[in-house]
Copies of this chain bind each other. A is one copy, B any other.
Amino acid sequence: MDSFSSSKMDVPWRQAVISVEQFSRQDIDEIFSLADRLSVGRTMPLTGKTITNLFYEPSTRTSSSFYAAMTRLGGSVIPINEVNYSSVTKGETLEDTIRTLECYADAIVLRHYDDDATERAASVASVPIINAGNGAGEHPTQALLDLYTIAKEQGNVDGLTVTLMGDLKFGRTVHSLVKLLRMYDVVLRFVSPEELKVPREYLNQNDTEHTKLSEVLSETDVLYITRVQKERLSDNVAIDFSYAITKTDMDQARDDMILMHPLPRVGEIPSELDSDPRAAYFRQVRYGLYVRMALLVAMIGRD
Contacts and interface: CB of A to CB of B under 8 A. Distances in A.
B80 A266 contact: no
Nearest to A90: B264
A86 to B, nearest CB: 11
Contact of A96 (B42, B50, B264): B264
Contacts of A79: 79
A233 interface: no
Interface stretch (A18-26, A63-71, A160-168): A63-71
Interface in A241-267: 263-266
A68 B104 contact: yes
Contact of A64 (B87, B101, B288): B101
A264 B89 CA distance: 7
Contacts of A84: 58
Interface string A57-96: 0111100110110011010101110011001111111011
A289 interface: yes
Taking each of A44, A89, A95, which has the highest tally of chain B beta carbons within 10 Å of its own beta carbon?
A89
A60 B48 contact: no
A300 interface: no
A9 to B, nearest CB: 25
Given A282-B100, A285-B100, A92 B265 contact: yes
Taking each of A47, A59, A90, which has the highest tally of chain B beta carbons within 10 Å of its own beta carbon?
A90
Contacts of A96: 263-265, 271
A124 to B, nearest CB: 8
A118 interface: no
A286 interface: yes
B92 A264 contact: yes
Interface string A262-278: 01111000010010000
Nearest to A269: B96
Contacts of A68: 50, 78, 104-105
Q: Please provide the 4 A-B residue pairs with the shortest distance between their CB atoms, ordered closest to farther.
A: A68-B104, A92-B264, A71-B76, A103-B285
Interface of A: 42, 44, 47-48, 50, 52, 58-61, 64-65, 67-68, 71-72, 74, 76, 78-80, 83-84, 87-93, 95-97, 99-101, 103-105, 263-266, 271, 274, 282, 285-286, 288-289
